[in-house]
Amino acid sequence: MIKNVSELRQDLVSGDWVVIATARAKRPHDFLKRKHRRPVQPKKDCPFETLKGKKVLLQYQHADNFGRNNKKNENNWFVAVIPNKYPAFGEGLCMVERHETLFNWMDGVGFHEVLVYRDHSLPLALFNQKETELVLKAYQSRFLNLSEKDCVEYILIFHNDGPEAGATISHPHSQLIAVPIIPPDVARSIAGSKRYFENRQECVHCVMVNAEKSSGKRIIYENERFLSVAPFVSRTAFEIRIFPKNHQPSFEKISHEDISFAADALRISLKKLYIGLKDPCYNFFIHTAPCRGEQYQHYHWHIEILPKTAIWAGFELGTGIEIATIAPETAAEYLRGIKI
Ligand SMILES: [Zn+2]
Ligand SMILES: [Zn+2]
């Protein structure tokens, strides 16, 4: 009998291929490299300890500290949004194409903001329900504000957690970048879901959510309105995606009630990773419809969480494929069993 050494699985939305190692597959416990928490930078060097001298774009109070009554905040804020001191996008002329011999270029116009959480060393994975709701509310509020600005086509909300995930400051923070273009990965995802919709008159993500619900083998967690799964086409070991169960193209239109279910699904998923993989470094981001136009009704917003379990080397950089060294079905079974 032939035993395959790996599986190539095709993404139903983008058409991309991923590789799942089967012969060299690791077991969940092989990922527990870390014995201690990641290093926390000294508070005295931390730029996020005070808001003094910073332009505060949004601030939510830490009402009653949500059960963390042992701490007294100097001015009781829990999340504050400030402009990034070293923005990747900023002022300039909007969508004016210029040319340099063969090449086209334009100004990197946009916004780059940082959402700072009050506690210097409390990771997002350990936020409680109310705190996680505030995080999502802050994401939504800034998204709505920036989507009104000229030149903004797409807004990416993301969170880098830990040095291997690119967080240069250990103090927990998320970021939001508003750009004048639709980025390539997003464009592929949107084009794929549009193609599927045109061919079959249904949303590819709704179809996948229903398929995952009936099979159950890749479910990590679910509540009444959100589903957390290890995707069939996991691009990394222990990748997690969180979908609203009902069709919703745009994250920023999420209802007050849904925020609490989304926060529950995000919090439990992150906490399962935190416990199950002993505080891995990870990135997460929200994929949602572009800001403008009604032509994105076929899209279905979701959160993608990608733990850092491998270093990108020649194969990965040359192909864009990371070999997932655990099957999503095994990863889901393991995380499903982690008690919170
Ligand atoms: Zn700090
Ligand atoms: Zn849908």
How far, in whole angstroms, is CA 207 from its chain's centroid?
21
Q: How far apart are alpha carbons 37 and 270 in whole angstroms?
A: 15
Q: How far apart are alpha carbons 30 and 164 in whole angstroms?
A: 18
Q: How far apart are alpha carbons 58 and 78 in whole angstroms?
A: 11
- pLDDT recorded at residue 71: 52
Domain ranges within the chain, ordered by starting residue? 6-336
Matching residue, tokens 């083998």: 217
Cα 117 to middle of ligand 1, angstroms: 9
Cα 153 to middle of ligand 2, angstroms: 21
Q: Give the CA count within 13 Å in the CB-facing half-sphere of 96.
A: 6
Q: Is 173 a catalytic residue?
A: yes
Give φ, ψ of 315 to 5 degrees.
Answer: -60, -45
In DSSP notation, 125-176 reads GG--HHHHHHHHHHHHHHHHHHHTSTT--EEEEEEEESGGGT-SS-S-EEEE
- pLDDT recorded at residue 64: 52
List Cβ neighbours of 17 (8 Å cut-off, separation of 6 or more). Answer: 8, 9, 10, 11, 321
pLDDT single digits (tens) 204-251: 999 999 999 999 999 999 999 999 999 999 999 999 999 999 999 999
Cα 49 to middle of ligand 1, angstroms: 5
Give just the sign of the alpha carbon dihedral 21, 23, 24, 27.
Answer: positive
- pLDDT recorded at residue 337: 97
Q: How far apart are alpha carbons 221 and 319 in whole angstroms?
A: 32
Low-confidence ranges of the chain (pLDDT < 50): 65-67, 69-70
- pLDDT recorded at residue 37: 65
Nearest Cα neighbor of 284 from 129, 145, 125, 143 is 125
Q: Looking at domain 6-336, does it have CATH number 3.30.428.10?
A: yes
Looking at the CA of 300, which ligand is closest? 2
112, 171, 173, 205: the active-site residue: 173
Cα 88 to middle of ligand 1, angstroms: 22
Q: How far apart are alpha carbons 80 and 57 in whole angstroms?
A: 7
CA separation (Å) from 294 to 249, 289, 290?
10, 9, 9
- pLDDT recorded at residue 67: 47
- Residue 261 falls in which region: left (phi positive, over 0), alpha (psi -120 to 50) or beta: alpha
Looking at the CA of 208, which ligand is closest? 2
Residues in the chain: 340
- pLDDT recorded at residue 32: 79
pLDDT single digits (tens) 128-155: 999 999 999 999 999 999 999 988 999 9
Contact between 239 and 325 under an 8 Å Cβ cutoff? The reply is no
Query: Which strands make up the sheet holding 6-10, listed edge to edge?
Result: 6-10, 17-21, 323-324
- pLDDT recorded at residue 92: 86
Looking at the CA of 246, which ligand is closest? 2
Q: How far apart are alpha carbons 230 and 67 in whole angstroms?
A: 32
Cα 43 to middle of ligand 1, angstroms: 5
